Amino acid sequence: MLINVSVCAMEEKKYESLKIENIVASGAIADSIDLEVISNKIENCELNTKRFPGAVYRIQDPKIASLIFSSGKVVLTGIRDKNALDEGLKLIISRMKDAGVQCYKEPQVAITNIVCSYDIGKYINLNKVVITLNLENIEYEPEQFPGLVYRIQDPKIVALLFSSGKIILTGGKNLEDIKRGLDFLEQKLSSIM
């Protein structure tokens, strides 16, 4: 039992600088939504069809921006954790129902992307990474962008590496994928650093 506790503590320490920056979720909450009606009835719900084909509904607590389309589909962004997603989705559906929208009993909304930041804690020589790994799934053009783009195949994660040791990971649909991608990346980098 003591071993399991210490393994969990070591794993927590390993990922302590891993921080969720944004969660994006999308899916359907209704068969159709009258955008004119909801933009008039729901506070903080804006509609400007000349600029964007959907309504933008901003919630302050939890802080979420939702894009709502007449097809009944939604995209939620700015989310920081799973609880905020669940809470925000309930609030959005409640406001939609109050505005007269017939929402699904079970909304079909799922996480489509998680963006995380991580600090590896040491300098990364990006030129050495490019030369040593020499892989097709690496893009590095320092004149265009100061970071190295590393496309991990399994799990399908894109990592942006910066010489400062900061890393941005994106493309995961859950935190386990992000951690697996990070482990893979650290294994590759350990042979170089």
User: Which CATH number is 136's domain given?
Assistant: 3.30.310.10
Asked if the model's pLDDT at residue 12 lies above 70, the reply is: no
Residues 101 and 147 in one domain: no
> Residue 13, class by beta-carbon neighbours within 10 Å (0-12 exposed, 13-18 middle, 19+ buried)?
exposed
Residues 85 and 129 in one domain: no
Residues 101 and 134 in one domain: no
- This prediction's pTM: 0.85
How does pLDDT run across 142-154, given as a tens digit for each residue? Answer: 999 999 999 999 9
Sheet architecture: strand order including 148-152: 45-47, 55-60, 63-68, 73-79, 19-30, 103-119, 166-172, 157-161, 148-152, 138-139
Residues 128 and 105 in one domain: no
How does pLDDT run across 85-106, given as a tens digit for each residue? Answer: 999 999 999 999 999 999 999 9
Residue 127 lies in a domain: yes
Residue ending a domain, among 111, 140, 158, is 111
Residue 8 lies in a domain: no
Range of the domain at 139: 120-190
